[in-house]
Structure 1
Amino acid sequence: MLKFPGIAVLAAGEASPGGLGSTLTLIVPLVLMFALMYFLLIRPQKKKEKKLREQIEAMVVGDNVVTIGGLVGQIVNIKDDEVTISTSVSKTLVTFKKSAINTIQKPISE
């Protein structure tokens, strides 16, 4: 007598029940899960990255920025892929790559 009935079924060569219906019940939840993950995680992140890239390309001298390290300052010079910001009242100048910018705030015009 066999202790594992599943092995006996496989050994006898009998077909397992199910077919197309059981395959669909396995595939459909996986497809739905990946679609949900795409629309909840990946797509919003890509939109945010695109918006930041557009803001970085449109920034001008005088805009206020926050870097990925948390440094806050005002743009005083823009070169190819570098930005120089003034960080304090004593006009400390720090140069960063454009990719290090996290947030851009336009100055409030009076």
Structure 2
Amino acid sequence: MFISNAYAQSAGTAADVGMMGNLTTFAPLVLMFVVMYFLMIRPQQKRAKEQKTMMDALAKGDEIITSGGILGRVSKVSDTYVTVEIAANTDIVVQKNSITTLLPKGTLKSL
């Protein structure tokens, strides 16, 4: 009496739903990967490349900062270690990958 009949809506054909359904399902996932690549992965790769280039270019007399915050002048460079003069007649040996920054010449005047 007061309730009307409800009929189910017919679905589209399999060809209409199949391709668009898959595309709309994976689009957010692909979009998230693209955003993650440009915001996180690409800048990290760029920084790693710059760090490697700096380590390869280290030479005697360069002024550096280590990851521990020690400032000094490079006195000897080997494949994996660097000898750093931190004061007059005071040398320390650090790993090459612990060097974070290459300072401009003349920054450390007291050594």
Q: Distance in 2 between matches of 1:67 and 1:44?
A: 22
Structure 1 residue 66 displacement after superposition? 1.1
Task: Provide the identity percentage.
Answer: 37
Return 5+ residue gaps in structure 2 as ranges: 1-16, 107-111
Structure 2 residue 84 is matched with structure 1 residue 85: yes
Residues 56-110 of structure 1: CA distance to partner in whole angstroms, max 9, x if unpaired?
A: 111111111111222111101112221000113x4421101111111112414xx
Residues 27-68 of structure 1: CA distance to partner in whole angstroms, max 9, x if unpaired?
A: 011101101101111111111111111111111111111112
Whether contact under 8 Å (1:56, 1:104) holds in the other structure is no
* Corresponding letter in the other structure for 2:85: S
For 2:105, what is the secondary structure of its paired residue?
A: coil
Normalised to the residue count of structure 1, the TM-score between the two structures is 0.73
Higher helix share: 1
Q: Distance in 2 between matches of 1:74 and 1:57?
A: 16
Structure 2 residue 101 is matched with structure 1 residue 103: yes
Give structure 1 regions of 4+ aligned residues with deviation exceeding 3 angstroms: none
Q: Distance in 1 between matches of 2:50 and 2:81?
A: 19
Alignment of 1:44-55 (within 5 A): 44-55=43-54
2:5 aligned residue: none
1:39 aligned residue: 38
Give the greater-gyration-radius structure (CA): 2
Q: Distance in 1 between matches of 2:55 and 2:103?
A: 11
Q: CA RMSD in A?
A: 2.0
Deviates more, 1:46-55 or 1:98-107: 98-107
Q: Distance in 2 between matches of 1:68 and 1:91?
A: 22
